[in-house]
Structure 1
Amino acid sequence: MNWIDIGHIDDVPLRGARLVKTSAGCIAVFRTGKDEVFAASDTCPHKGGPLSEGIVHGQKVTCPLHNMVFDLNTGAAQGADEGQIPTYPVRLDGGRILLDGDALANRSAA
């Protein structure tokens, strides 16, 4: 994997998100209350809502436009509606957030 340093965990608000612009489009990097990090597409597939502006709760995010909930591990929508957002490998190394550049490159080529 080709890890890209995108900043420090403190750059992302607790139970919030930070937007990262990439060749694959806008990626939202989420931080949970337990300092876990996740990366996923910023765009809700239902109404195009900016997920980086949604509510982070546990390992999920709620779309700010229509309250659809997405699992940050899998990208799967929760509840009666169906749908999925792309997710990307991300990890912490000494407080630095590293995003898998290879996964982004594969996504932009698709």
Structure 2
Amino acid sequence: MSWTDIAALEDIPVRGARIVKTHAGCIAVFRTDGDEVFATSDRCPHKGGPLSEGIVHGKSVTCPLHNWVFSLETGEAQGADEGQIATYPTRVENGRVLMDLSEINKVAA
């Protein structure tokens, strides 16, 4: 894995997100109320809504445009909606958020 330090945990709001810009597009990095961190594609597959502006609840995010709900763990749409968003491995060490960029780097190759 290719772990990269992307931010301090405190830089990501609780039940909110921050954006990481990559050559493969924007990635939304979410923080739950339990201080778990997840990284996903920032675009909803339905209408391209910015998931980083969505509502984080539990381990899910609701798209701000049409209320589609996605699991932050698996990227799968929940409920009656169908679709999936890309997810990327993250971890927190010593108050820093690390993300595995190996899948993103494959896109550039």
When the two structures are superposed, what TM-score results if normalisation uses the length of structure 1?
Answer: 0.96
Aligned partner of 2:66 in structure 1 is 66
Aligned residues: 109
Residue 44 (structure 1) aligned with residue 56 (structure 2): no
The 8 Å contact of residues 89 and 103 in structure 1, kept in 2 or not, is answered as no
Aligned partner of 1:30 in structure 2 is 30
The 8 Å contact of residues 45 and 85 in structure 1, kept in 2 or not, is answered as yes
Query: Aligned equivalents of 1:28 and 1:69: distance in 2?
Result: 15
- SS, match of residue 56 in structure 1: strand
Gaps of 5+ in 2: none
Query: Aligned equivalents of 2:77 and 2:46: distance in 1?
Result: 10
Structure 1 runs (4+) greater than 2 angstroms displaced: none
Residue 16 (structure 1) aligned with residue 21 (structure 2): no
- SS, match of residue 78 in structure 1: coil
1:109 deviates by: 4.3
The 8 Å contact of residues 56 and 62 in structure 1, kept in 2 or not, is answered as yes
Q: What is the letter of the counterpart of residue 14 of structure 2?
A: L
When the two structures are superposed, what TM-score results if normalisation uses the length of structure 2?
Answer: 0.96
- SS, match of residue 30 in structure 2: strand
User: What is the percentage of aligned positions where both structures have the same residue?
Assistant: 69
CA shift digits 1:44-97 (9 cap, x unpaired)? 000100000000000000000000000000000001120000000011011100
The 8 Å contact of residues 23 and 108 in structure 2, kept in 1 or not, is answered as no
Gaps of 5+ in 1: none
Q: What CA RMSD, in Å, does the superposition of the two structures yield over aligned residues? A: 1.1
